[in-house]
Amino acid sequence: VQGSFSGVKATIDYDPDNVTRSSVTATIDVNTVNTGDSGRDDELKSSDFFNVSHFPTATFVSTSVSKNGDGLWIHGNLTLHGITKPVVLNVKGPTPPVQGSDGRTRSSFSATSTINRITFGIGKQFPSAIVGDPVKLQIKLVIIKQ
């Protein structure tokens, strides 16, 4: 099952000349989960999974950024369901900058990582035969030069 979160706010300081000076801070409104099935979304928001009434947001704060061939490694701490664990994002990009119709310069990135839902205390009463333990994260974003 694939899903997405529409309520994401992030600050990205990207230094293409020295990526080690780059950083990312993101806050995700977990209540905005959308799998295309409202019943499933309600179950994911319940105390069985995300428990949005107690843990309405997830956060990611980078701890380091380094080159990875044509992309980047972003190491950071993900806090989800009240539990903080280290996560590494494998980032592709940035794409070459383009100027939008508003005159602002944009580039895009994509990133992937895999987390284990059990280590974040999510759905731990459900065996992996019912709900898989590894969860693949896919992030697609556009940055606008300030």
pLDDT tens across the length of the chain (146 residues): 899 999 999 999 989 899 999 999 999 999 999 999 999 999 999 999 999 999 999 999 999 999 998 899 999 999 999 999 999 999 998 899 999 899 999 999 999 999 999 999 999 898 887 888 899 999 998 888 87
Question: Three-state DSSP class for 21?
Answer: helix
Provide the whole-model pTM.
0.90
Q: Between the CA of residue 101 and those of 44, 98, 106, 109, what are the distances in Å?
A: 38, 10, 11, 20
